[in-house]
A and B are shown apart, each in its own frame.
Chain A
Amino acid sequence: MDKWNWDRFLDAWPYVLDGLWVTIQFTVLGSIVAYVLGLIFAIIRQLRIPVVDQVLWGFIEFVRSTPLLVQVFFLYWVIRPEVLQGVDSDTQKILVGTFALGVHYACYTSEVYRAGIEAVPKGQWEAATALSLPRSRVWTGVVLPQAIPRVLPALGNYTIAMFKEVPLLSAISVFDIVYQVKTEYAASQGGAGPEAWAAAGLTFLALSYPCAILVRRLERRVGTV
């Protein structure tokens, strides 16, 4: 191992922070997709529409049983050339990365929402029926306002997990923290070395840990599913 060099450590930060910004962008975009799509999945599954339900179940199990990196490569090398022709390459990476993270995590958040929806007492559905509320209003006025606060901590945990998985996108040359260190920084210094990796690791720690504590605090307030 190379000898630790504080200059190299300090030199690493501009690269790491550039990458951090990209990493946060993907985490935010991916989370939005995962939250929205997961909710849609959960509602579709709760409606128990024949065929659609089974197909969606199969899809969710498939996604949950295969590695995210394989999904990223599949989207990037198989699907992208077919559907994203003519889109500039930066936008392609944003779309593929966001979609891969979002869909992958939607398959987990849908289970979280499902648990939250099932935790709403049956009597709430029955009271809504007794008031002849329209189906859409039962969801938006009664069920989801009770289900969602309870699942917020679990959703938060998935966002933290996603944040730590964004580096997988460096495999398709997204300029995240890891890509910055292993490619850009390494090119300027003739190799990455322990200092840059330590800076990258510390950056993840510095964000993940406080967020995890916030989630735990939220959990104590709203309870868990």
Chain B
Amino acid sequence: MSTANKEIGPPVIELGAMGWLRKNLFSNWYNSLLTIFGLYLLYVLIPPLVNWIFLDANFTGSTRDDCTNEGACWIFIQQNIKLIFYGLYPTEELWRINIVYLILLISGAYLLIPNLKYKGWVGAFLLIIFPIICVVMLSGGLGLEAVETRLWGGLFLTLVIAGVGIVLSLPIGVMLALGRRSKLPVVSILCTIFIEIWRGVPLITVLFMASNMFPLFMPEGVNFDKLIRALIGVMFFSAAYLAEVVRGGLQAMPKGQYEASQAVGLTYWRMMALVILPQSLKMVIPAIIGSFIAIFKDTTLVLVIGLFDFLGIIQFVGTNPDWLGFSHEGYVFAAAVFWVFCYAMSWYSQRLEKKLDTGR
């Protein structure tokens, strides 16, 4: 009997495309109904969208009069691309931004390719030297003409705010989380107060404070750049959220890991850096990236203090009399670009999780 069983496969009805369809889409009457309804919804939504975005859209031309087709007028984006990507940054200085992008792109790609040597050095370069290059290249100095930050704008400004906010808020968040769990009551209370205040205030309030209130507290004549004030606000705001995410990871660590580290003689900071944080940060990667994505999208709020980020400038361009009435195109374009960046972060988070998995 047992030898005969080898020749029996799964029932034919469960194999192949038909089997899959039957199992997943038409397993019973309400599942079938849902499937049909879903297909109908796709039929109603997708073709008009595709038509509007691609098939009936206008891609070539230079003025609104060239938009003769039914669909989207991408000429609007095309004609304003410099504003949308770089804001009012002087055209003859744009190469400076592009070089910064290029450096970032090359070193980022280098870090993403597996099994390359000297990744540590490239990482150190990105974290230590690259920011200095950015400051000099973007705002001027060392013979480069100064470009005031009020001219910065568009996607470039969004990336600056989000990038600085994200990169600086993680270490601050980690320190705040450690501080909140500290055995020293003063440290713990101070960190807790700091975190709770920042988390209890909407970002828009933080930005208003940074832009309007903060100068009132400064001595006469001291004037911080508005962008820097906004950056500091975004950074602390994000750090407070990250602190709580990281604290969650720290709390999930088994006590045995602390004890084993202490037993082999590691001091507090080494224990944290070598044993506890690598594990607890790994546990909360999805939540950390979630915070990053939120901060990236929240940068659009800087519009309220008069900084023209990516979305802000698209709205601004839409008010140009030459291009009135093309806000749909602008918003769809903005959504697509935001989605690309956010999805990239999400993708990287999953990749990182897989890479760091040691099968606990």
A and B found bound together: no
